[in-house]
Amino acid sequence: MSFKVSDLNKGQLRKLNAYRKSVGGNEDAAQAMMQIYLDNLPIKQKAEPKINPALALIEDALSKAIPDIGKIKLPQKGVTVNKGKGANKGKLVVKENK
């Protein structure tokens, strides 16, 4: 047995108990079947984080427009950037978060 029962999650414990019942309580056979099951599980790959294209454009534009961005002091609660409406249409409106 190359797996620890304590390392199994809830669903895998249920599967192990089902294997035990199906072979009439034969612990060695149940563990062998469980090992085959665990060996054939697909390996989960971490997905790449999705980048919002609008945020990427804003970040790119700000980094080009303000080369010394590290010297800017932002408020503690941050800022909100919205697309302008009405008289500010076509502009970005920046407000301090309260």
pLDDT in tens, 3-50: 899 999 999 999 999 999 999 989 999 999 999 999 999 988 888 888
Domain-located, residue 45: no
Is 20 in a helix, a strand, or coil? helix
Our count of domains for the chain comes to 1
- 86 Rama class: left (phi>0) / alpha (psi -120 to 50) / beta: left
* pLDDT band for position 74 (cuts 50, 70, 90): confident
Domain-located, residue 27: yes
Domain-located, residue 77: no
* pLDDT band for position 1 (cuts 50, 70, 90): low
Domain-located, residue 95: no
Q: Find the domain containing 11 and state its range.
A: 5-39
Tokens 């079947």 belong to residue: 33
Domain-located, residue 84: no
Domain-located, residue 19: yes
Domain-located, residue 10: yes
Domain-located, residue 96: no
